[in-house]
Amino acid sequence: MLELYGKGVSNGIAIGRLSFYAKSTDNNVPKYSVSDTASEYKRYKTAVKLAKQRLQLLYDEACKRISKSESVIFQTHIMILEDSKFVETVEKLILAEHLNAEFAVYDTALKIAEIFRSLDDEYLRQRYTDIIDAANTVLDILHPKKPIMADKTSPVIVAAAELLPSETISFNQNNLLGFITSKGSRNSHTAILARTLGLPLVTQIKGSLSRFDGMEAIIDGQTGRVVINPDHNTLAHYMAKQRMYREKLQNLKNQLGLPAVTRNGQRIRLLARIENIDGLESARKSDAEGVGIFRTDYLYAKRKSPPSEEEQFSVYKTVLRAFEGRPVVIAAANLGSEKSISYLDIPEENNPAIGYKGIRVLLDNKELFMTQLRALYRASVYGRLSILLPMVNNTEEIEYVKRTLEEVKLELKSKGQEHADRIGLGVMIETPAAALISDEICRITDFVTIGTNSLTQYTLAMDRENQKLEYFYEPYHKAVLRLIRLVCSNAHKSGKTVAVCGELACDPHMTKSLLAMEADELIVMPSKLLDIKSAVRGCDTTDKDKILSRI
């Protein structure tokens, strides 16, 4: 028996035989000079046309097996092949440098992909696989390769050095138990597809996986543990764990459609926390009553210029339409030096967490802020929109924003552009300062949202990303819980609603305490929504005074 450890990025347990998926290496892409560049460029254009047809078929097939939202990656691949920078670079290599089409496509994709791989943002960094996958679709037509998989007919755990989205969706789902790869991350589209398909995936396993081809294996998508040729006791343990996991999944599915109400009748709203537009469908499927936070930072990061009003309007309109009249809270961009916003004057900082970020940046860059607000107000006619302000520390900042909102409304009116009559304005309580004056904040806002991750970090004066502080970092510290309780109390005294988001909101062990504090809403990652609903429906808060006495 051999144990390996990687990173679990899609939950579940798979028990079965490993089948290694081999493919030709990138080094096999030929490079040579061509004399008839016009014919070579025509060959490239023909291959792109066929590749786009193939990607459209992949999209159609994916829509049958998963949601349209998750399948859109294959339409994104088409957009990559149509991107002007991509096309112009390939064209130059063929027509000006007389290189063959295969190498021109490969070299262009590799260089663009490397730009993405060097980015700090994990989500954007993982988009490099989309560049490679789109290019590979063209390369497979120009220079066909035959991937080899040992077993295509019986249920197997697919092992590979790396899997691209097009490869992941192309396998016969009836023969899939799970995936194990050497490369990958939680934010890759392959991981997203695996979670959507409900299949476990373990990545970042060191060493070649081909040596295990045909062997019996167990993979645990939660812990990242992989067992090769398990002994009888280990096999029995994981078979029991697999049964328990399946029973838990069935129990969670049974929560769909049920209200989030405790056994003694206390009601709480469960809303989704969405990091980018890719998360819309999973939030809808998880029974979210709306969107508690839709983050917009990703729209601004890793680009040469800020997103246009039209680009933002399109995204916000899509989000609001997706939730068909249910409440949607969209957060104003929380920009800072850690986001690498090259087009703004944001200097590098030793500690960006307590630096120039959030509302401070927006108020200093009024036109950038007003562009986002115009897009939000225009989109408001498509749903129930509220706007959330990040990193607010005093009431003066809120009053300034309210005056800016009036300017935006007057500007839209002068242009004859419609917006909703009523748009809520809320504040993210992320610092002890904001929590301590939450009574004043609540008097001039419509709602507040407590960001427990930031609040914990600033209250304890500890960087939550610092591994050296992991032992000392205590998210359940009484000081943090007392601040949460204070904000809930102040909000209700003003007749305003209070939501809780962050890791504490996603922890079922904290659900009863947050209910005792009378939080009106919990904002939860889509993957945790049904877990939290189950926790809500399973608890009784008649003893809330006893619970609060411990805080």
Catalytic residue annotation: 189, 501
Is the distance from CB of 201 to CB of 180 less than 8 angstroms?
yes
| CA 511/CA 263 separation, integer angstroms | 13
Which contiguous run of DSSP H or E holds residue 384?
strand 384-389
Type of residue found at 258:
L
Q: How many residues make up the chain in this entry?
A: 551
Reported as type and span, the H/E element at residue 427 is strand 424-429
Q: What is the Cα gyration radius of the chain?
A: 26
Q: Is residue 211 within 8 Å of 149, Cβ to Cβ?
A: no
**What are the φ and ψ backbone dihedral angles of 137, each rounded to 5 degrees?**
-65, -40
CB of 449 closer than 8 Å to CB of 501? yes
Residue with tokens 């989000």: 319
Q: Judging by DSSP bridges, how do beta strands 13-22 and 216-220 pair with one another? A: antiparallel
Pairing of strands 148-149, 7-10: unpaired
Q: Three-class SS of residue 286?
A: coil
The separation between the first and the last C-alpha atoms of the chain, rounded to the nearest angstrom, is 47
Single out the residue of 535, 474, 528, 536 nearest to residue 501, CA to CA: 528
Alpha carbons 394 and 374: distance in angstroms, whole number? 24
* C-alpha distances out from residue 286 to 4, 178, 282, 526, Å: 32, 22, 6, 6
Nearest CA to 189 out of 203, 208, 176, 207 is that of: 203
* C-alpha neighbours within 13 Å on the C-beta side of residue 290: 18
**Residues 6+ positions from 57 with CB-CB distance below 8 Å:** none
d(CA 110, CA 121): 19
Instruction: Give me the DSSP letters along 312-323.
Output: HHHHHHHHHHHT
C-alpha dihedral (207, 208, 211, 212), degrees to nearest 10 = 80
Determine the Cα–Cα distance for residues 144 and 147; give it in Å rounded to an integer.
Answer: 10
Neighbours of 491 (CB within 10 A): 25
SS3 139: helix
Helix, strand or coil, per DSSP, at residue 519: coil
What is the DSSP code (8-state) at residue 189? H
